[in-house]
Structure 1
């Protein structure tokens, strides 16, 4: 199967974001609710532990169960989005996401809460897959990067804000934060009313046509042919390199900034949790700014080049953290790592959307979502587990080496497939 490609970057590429369109507004609002899944709940874990009388490892299952569901079920959700349509999957996911949160308030036991979290994790995967796929269907070239960048920025902003919100609400009761999930229900109703089904035919029709609601829907059946089509679409070196980049970026972020750095700041510098939180918000804040500028970067660089630059930033950030002798230097390292994440994530989705036709795009992006959740799940476990033997300083140096390795792997993967963007740049 031939992948879709885009022309080389140019100064004339359209990076305007159509803020006044229902598509953009619904997608960004849906993405803003996504961090309700983990960042909102993380500060409540000690209260949940005390409320239900469970151990800390048991309480942490509220996080693991949420991610595991997304890892396993994302490909099935992507297949449904290719078969039934993006709008239906997004709306159903938002409604289930919201109602599950509301039901949590009435949960009689920790086991009940855990089961609800599995349902929420599944719905969250639907929101992630549908929103990114709709962007991939609706926009193209640098404008696609711009919208994906804003989408990632909104996600990072929510991840920075919701821990504070969760900490405030849990002071009222252990289940008060879960009431926020109900906001997803009316958003789902509005999305069903105003969204048009996005283009799934794989044709390179203009963004303006698709924004006006015209669709070229060619339903696919969930049979062996569909599976072969998705595997053929994602089996190229370029797409596989993007999956590796996603997994590595999430593993390094969740293992380092969100796990190693807090322990390092507390153990070595004796900092209060509030100060540790400020350092983490610095990383998220940098990621927001850089993600929002992705469309501008795409005017001058290919997606693969942006991803490689992002991993070079990660390598520098890890090296600075390894050499750091003060809190200020660790804060600077976290900001550099945040910038790297802001470069990588939107560009990965843009590259996968470019290379996979609309017929199989949701399936391909759902596999990307599985690698995202897998990296987030394994990162904290891997870093914390290895650190019991090595300490955190050697891990940071290892992170720098790993980031450089991934940058090289992405470059090699693109050369292996004869990346058309690189060829165009060399001829320019």
Structure 2
């Protein structure tokens, strides 16, 4: 696994306008929308299934209403990333936020299950655009230490958004199964803020090559290693929302509301760590933080899987939340610092794609083995993955340092011979 230092890409210039508070507030609010992609309507699923009971395969199709946006985000993110680089950050963000409000809120009016699924597909496209465009704009606007700080704020706001929106979705679902769809409409006034305050960064493209890319702009070699880290982390992480409610019921008789509060506690830890990511990154750097991230994930999953007490499960959830709070801002900081601005949209779109592909694959991979391993076994297996990744990151660093040291020492005998 190839990993870089924390140097900035050469030639990058800060965008002075980015310091304006309305710009930052708009980017953070847009980022919060992405936490509503799927889970916000989860409390509505039982009532939705009853409403569409006459539709063939209703049970399956209703569950697809929850999961289909994640698959669409994974598929659509690379296309959106190319548009972000070629058409511009602002147009993609404005269109995506507007589409988010229309497609997400369509469930308020539609009374056809297939039409609702179509709206969820468009919602996935919108989320891919929002995540890619907002993260690309942050990395364009804020170089150096300020980038790490703002990416941490972005993760923190997304965490707090998850707590707030998921709680509100449950309340509205108790009133009517369509209620949570109304929350998506908050994106419509936010579209006005994007048009008003977001400015397109200055053109950075050099003369184009045959493939349409700026000459000399190449994907950094570590990108695929970063993508693998994101994919592995999300396969691990999404065992929490997909398996934890059943696990808590087995070991402590905890119901749905208690499971929701437990997951909210993890989201709170995620948000608090994310808000402090800038300080963490400034002190330790990207690679040590990546090692610490997967170590925390391993400890958290091991605590959950080895415990038969709810209190210890909560401790494990806090550890997992702390690791997730550092994960994406750190990997985005790492990747953006080595990527030319001219292709940053398409490179960072790979993070978005792997993020949601991992979320989609997690239950697909974990559910078939839950019968043989048990849910506790799934969490212990996730802990094993976390430890393995942390060890690979450590060995990769040691190998690079050893190679660098050997390269520095090798010319010494030749120099001595020359002097003789």
Say yes or no: TM over 0.5: yes
Match 2:120 to one of 117, 120, 123: 117
Tell me if the contact between 2:39 and 2:66 (Cα under 8 Å) persists in the aligned partners.
Answer: no
Alignment partner, residue 233 of structure 1: 219
Alignment partner, residue 104 of structure 1: 107
| Offset of residue 384 of structure 1 | 2.3
Alignment partner, residue 160 of structure 1: 163
Judged with a 3 Å threshold, the aligned counterparts in structure 2 of structure 1 residues 413 and 92 are, in CA distance, closer, same or farther, namely farther
Alignment partner, residue 242 of structure 1: 226
Instruction: Check if 1:26 corresponds to 2:26.
Output: yes
Tell me if the contact between 2:108 and 2:181 (Cα under 8 Å) persists in the aligned partners.
Answer: yes
Judged with a 3 Å threshold, the aligned counterparts in structure 2 of structure 1 residues 4 and 222 are, in CA distance, closer, same or farther, namely farther
Structure 1 Cα separation of the partners of residues 195 and 394 of structure 2: 41
Classify the secondary structure of the residue corresponding to 1:60: helix
Match 1:370 to one of 348, 353, 376: 353
Match 1:134 to one of 123, 133, 137: 137
Instruction: Check if 1:267 corresponds to 2:250.
Output: yes
How many residues align structurally? 389
* 4+ residue runs over 6 A deviation: 219-223, 227-230, 415-419
Structure 2 Cα separation of the partners of residues 294 and 309 of structure 1: 12
C-alpha RMSD of matched pairs (Å): 2.5
Classify the secondary structure of the residue corresponding to 2:271: helix
Classify the secondary structure of the residue corresponding to 2:219: helix
Alignment partner, residue 373 of structure 2: 390
User: Normalised by the size of structure 1, how large is the TM-score?
Assistant: 0.85
Judged with a 3 Å threshold, the aligned counterparts in structure 2 of structure 1 residues 221 and 267 are, in CA distance, closer, same or farther, namely farther
| Offset of residue 385 of structure 1 | 2.2
Judged with a 3 Å threshold, the aligned counterparts in structure 2 of structure 1 residues 347 and 220 are, in CA distance, closer, same or farther, namely farther
Structure 2 Cα separation of the partners of residues 118 and 325 of structure 1: 39
Q: Counterparts in 2 of 1:272-283, with a 5 A limit? A: 272-283=255-266
Report which of the two structures shows the higher radius of gyration computed on alpha carbons: 2
Structure 2 Cα separation of the partners of residues 320 and 89 of structure 1: 42
Structure 2 Cα separation of the partners of residues 62 and 220 of structure 1: 44
| Offset of residue 219 of structure 1 | 7.8
| Offset of residue 151 of structure 1 | 0.4
Structure 1 Cα separation of the partners of residues 207 and 23 of structure 2: 23
| Offset of residue 227 of structure 1 | 9.9
Instruction: Check if 1:254 corresponds to 2:238.
Output: yes
Q: Counterparts in 2 of 1:284-303, with a 5 A limit? A: 284-303=267-286
Structure 1 Cα separation of the partners of residues 129 and 210 of structure 2: 20
Structure 2 Cα separation of the partners of residues 51 and 187 of structure 1: 32
Match 2:205 to one of 218, 221, 225: 218
Alignment partner, residue 72 of structure 1: 75
Provide Cα deviations, 1:20-64, integer angstroms capped at 9, x if missing partner.
Answer: 523211111101222222131111111211111154332110122
Match 2:362 to one of 379, 382, 403: 379
Judged with a 3 Å threshold, the aligned counterparts in structure 2 of structure 1 residues 298 and 388 are, in CA distance, closer, same or farther, namely same
Higher deviation after alignment, 178-187 or 19-28: 19-28
Higher deviation after alignment, 405-414 or 379-388: 405-414
Alignment partner, residue 404 of structure 1: 387
Q: Counterparts in 2 of 1:298-377, with a 5 A limit? A: 298-377=281-360
Structure 1 Cα separation of the partners of residues 294 and 283 of structure 2: 18
Judged with a 3 Å threshold, the aligned counterparts in structure 2 of structure 1 residues 416 and 229 are, in CA distance, closer, same or farther, namely farther
Tell me if the contact between 2:270 and 2:321 (Cα under 8 Å) persists in the aligned partners.
Answer: yes
| Offset of residue 19 of structure 1 | 7.6
Provide Cα deviations, 1:326-370, integer angstroms capped at 9, x if missing partner.
Answer: 110111011111111112111011111101110110000101111
Tell me if the contact between 2:209 and 2:215 (Cα under 8 Å) persists in the aligned partners.
Answer: no
Tell me if the contact between 1:97 and 1:124 (Cα under 8 Å) persists in the aligned partners.
Answer: yes
| Offset of residue 389 of structure 1 | 2.0
Alignment partner, residue 204 of structure 1: none
Higher deviation after alignment, 370-379 or 271-280: 271-280
Alignment partner, residue 14 of structure 2: none
